[in-house]
Structures are given as C-alpha cells and as structure tokens.
Structure 1
Amino acid sequence: MSGYGTLHADWTVWTEDATAGDVVVYRPDVFDSESYPAPCMPTLKLLQRPPTQRKRRSGTDTDGWWVSLLLEPGVRVKHADTHAASRTAAVETVLELAAEFAAGEIDYRSAYQQPREAYLARLDELTGRDV
C-alpha cells in the first residue's frame, strides 16, 4: 500500500519500490516533451543513498533514506536535500516538499548557475511563485 495518500495533486508517483527507492514527478501533463522537455520535469527522489552518490554500493550498510529535488538532470535543489532515519519519515518529507514546491515556497531558481528564464518563468507560473 502506498504511503503517498496525501500527495499534492500536482505530483504523481512515477515509481515506488521499497528497496530501490521512489520517484515522484511534478506535472507530467506539462512536461510532456512537447511543451517542455520531459527531462526538465521537477522530480523528487527517495533513495537509500545520498544524492551525490551515483549508485548504491553493493554490500554497504544503508543509513536511512535520502530525499532530493531535481529540476532536470544535473540540477539539484541542494537546500531541499534531506536525510531521514526511516522510509516512512522520508515519504513524509516527500509529501512536505511536494506541497511546498506546488505552493511556490521552494527557491528553485538558486539551483541554477545559468538560469533558463523561459523554463523558470513557466515554473513560477505553475507554482504561483512571485519572484
């Protein structure tokens, strides 16, 4: 049974795997590869490894779960990175970050060294964020 029952309506559980991790995406109806490239779809990842570690090393002990917010490949909102002791706590973090993002409460613009203005303006519009 999914732990994402109270997930904000703008977010969709893309994959859910109790051992490998989960992927939750923002507005797949907008980031459909026609209006905006699908790789630019904001994504929350819940994994048993830090977001800076490419793959979980086999045979290593896991020390909880990590949640990260990506705006596109290689662009992570670092101040949203969170560590949780349990999967249940990590899911709660995903729910909170999803709601905050959808309400325009997360500063995603600071994740870019070279902002993509059209893309960020669209995110501002979707989230109601007043820049």
Structure 2
Amino acid sequence: MSELPAGWTLWNDEEGGRRILAYRPDVFNESNFPSECMPTIFVWNGSRAKRPGASQIRTTTWHAVLYIEPEIEAEVVEFDSREAALEGATELAQRFSDGEIGYRELYQVPRPDYFDKLDELTGRGDA
C-alpha cells in the first residue's frame, strides 16, 4: 500500500477484505465534533444495493467510497481488484486532503461549523 496522505489513518484492515481509512480522528472524536462526522474511506467488494443485508453479498467489483458522514457519500469509485481499490482509496484520500472534493453541495441543511473545520483542514479556504 502506498503511504497515506497527511491526516489519514488506517482504521481497519481485514486481510483480503474491507479496509477503512479515517481522516483526522484527533479532531473528530466527540470533544471537538461528533465522531460520526469523521470523514472515512471504505474499501470493500460488497453489493451497493440499497436493501437490508445487501452489503454482505460479495461482488467482483471493489469500491472505494468517501463518506463525509455515515449517510453522506462524497465520491464512489469502482475497481476490478482489491489492490487497485487500495491504491484508488489512497488517491481519493489525497484528493480530499488537497481540498479537491466538494462536500457542501451534498447537504440539504448546511452545517457551517463543520464545513469551516473541513475547509481549514483541507485548505479549501472559502470554498
């Protein structure tokens, strides 16, 4: 695996299976912002169907999904292998860290303090 971009931590890594990257757990830890606000990237080959238990069904397609919050997907990328998905997840993490991925437009109800902190951490300024 490539070295993770600054601010990202390997949160979970199942051999041959799911991997989770977490962004700035030092900031999103209940004392500053709710932990569910911690951006994460999930890598796995589970079904993306929107029905109960579907994610437990394995597929041949691997996904790297950037979540801003548990139900807020900022970006989904598909890959043919786990190895490609792991590299893709690292690239996705770098793009997020570099402020290249927008998140404000994903919300119907703005969260100004949260957005301001993400802007500060990712160098987006007044994005």
Taking structure 1 as the reference length, the TM-score comes to 0.86
- Aligned counterparts of 1:122 and 1:51: Cα–Cα separation in 2: 30
Gap runs ≥5 in structure 2 = none
**Are 1:7 and 2:29 an aligned pair?**
no
- Select 1:48's aligned residue among 45, 49, 68: 45
- Give the % identical residues: 38
Give the Cα–Cα distance (whole angstroms) in 2 for the partners of residues 46 and 84 of structure 1: 10
Tell me the CA shift for residue 122 of structure 1: 0.7
Aligned to 1:98, what secondary structure does the other structure show?
A: helix
Q: Which residue of 2 aligns with 1:33?
A: 30
Structure 1 residues not aligned, in runs of 5+: none
Which segment is superposed worse, 62-71 or 34-43?
A: 62-71
The answer for the alignment partner of 1:86 in structure 2 is 81
Q: CA deviation at 1:8?
A: 0.5
Query: SS state of the match for residue 63, structure 1?
Result: strand
Where do residues 1-131 of structure 1 align in structure 2 (5 Å cutoff)?
A: 3=1, 5-53=2-50, 54-57=54-57, 62-77=59-74, 80-130=75-125, 131=127
After TM superposition, give the deviation of residue 117 of structure 1 in Å.
1.1
Kindly state the Cα deviation for residue 52 of structure 1 after the two structures are TM-superposed: 4.7
Compare the two structures and name the one with the higher strand fraction: 2
Over aligned residue pairs, what C-alpha RMSD do you find? Answer: 1.5
Supply the AA of the counterpart residue of 1:21: R
How many residues are aligned here?
Answer: 123
Paired residues of 1:66 and 1:83 also in contact (CA < 8 A): yes
TM-score by length of 2: 0.89
Partner AA of 1:9 in structure 2: A
1:100 CA drift (Å): 0.8
